Amino acid sequence: MGKSYERIDGRLRAFIEAQHIFFTATAPLDGEGTVNLSPKGLTGSSAVIDELTVAYLDFAGSNAETIAHLRENGRITLMWCAFDGPPTIVRVHGRGEPVFRDDPRWAGLMRHFPDIDPTRHGLRAIIVVTAEKIRDTCGYSVPFMTYEGDRPLHGSRFGRETDESLDAYFHKKEHVATSIDGLPGLPLPLPPLPRTT
């Protein structure tokens, strides 16, 4: 039923790029720590960079668990599942790194997300994942669901924030600079969003 792959290309890449939602899973090293599982959406906010690298945009929110876990240990699993068409689930197990606004790699990575306006969603990091294990399995029990469109709420909420007000928002949230388990999360103060050319 399941099959392992050496790289993300061909049919596998096309499947990943066609999905409207995927999920990320991370955990701290402490066995008593909080496992985090997050849904990720917004058309154009994820990209296959090359045959072993996937990246996605990390937007403003009330927590920064993924960032905290990656800063501590780098372990991450990404999962895509088909809600239409053939029943497929794809997982990329690997090492992730948050690339922050003041990182010199930022501009080069942002070129992979041409359809995203970085000022509209409180973009705080780009998560870059290097695949160590790539597998697909059947999705026989995953239900059929129809994609109707992206929700406009996130963009309308954070599109009115400036760098300064977004930084203030993050400072007010209990689990942005520090994770639920007390790990370092998003580094604050938030650097200004680099200007695109």
In a domain, 161, yes or no: yes
In a domain, 193, yes or no: no
Quick check: 1 pLDDT over 90? no
Residue 193 to residue 129: CA distance in whole angstroms: 22
- What's 78's domain CATH number? 2.30.110.10
In a domain, 10, yes or no: yes
Q: Residue 2's pLDDT is what?
A: 85
In a domain, 63, yes or no: yes
Q: Residue 133's pLDDT is what?
A: 98
User: Which of 25-34, 126-135, 187-196 has the lowest average pLDDT?
Assistant: 187-196
In a domain, 183, yes or no: no
Convert the pLDDT of each residue in 130-148 to its tens digit: 999 999 999 999 999 999 9
DSSP the chain: --EEESS--HHHHHHHHH-S-EEEEE--SSTTSPPEEEEE--TTSEEEEETTEEEEEE---SB-HHHHHHHHT-EEEEEEE-SSSS-EEEEEEEEEEEEETTSTTHHHHHTT-TT--TTTTT--EEEEEEEEEEEEEE-TTSPP-------SHHHHHHTT--HHHHHHHHHHSTBTSB-TTS-B-S-SSPPPPPPP-
Residue 122 to residue 72: CA distance in whole angstroms: 23
Cα 99 to chain centroid, rounded: 11
Residue 156 to residue 187: CA distance in whole angstroms: 25
In a domain, 117, yes or no: yes
Domain count, the chain: 1
Residue 62 is which amino acid? Answer: S
Q: Residue 155's pLDDT is what?
A: 93
Domain range for residue 116?
2-172
In a domain, 186, yes or no: no
Convert the pLDDT of each residue in 90-137 to its tens digit: 999 999 999 999 999 999 999 999 999 989 999 999 999 999 999 999
Quick check: 81 pLDDT over 70? yes
Whether residue 94 contacts residue 132, with contact meaning beta carbons closer than 8 Å, is answered with yes
In a domain, 194, yes or no: no
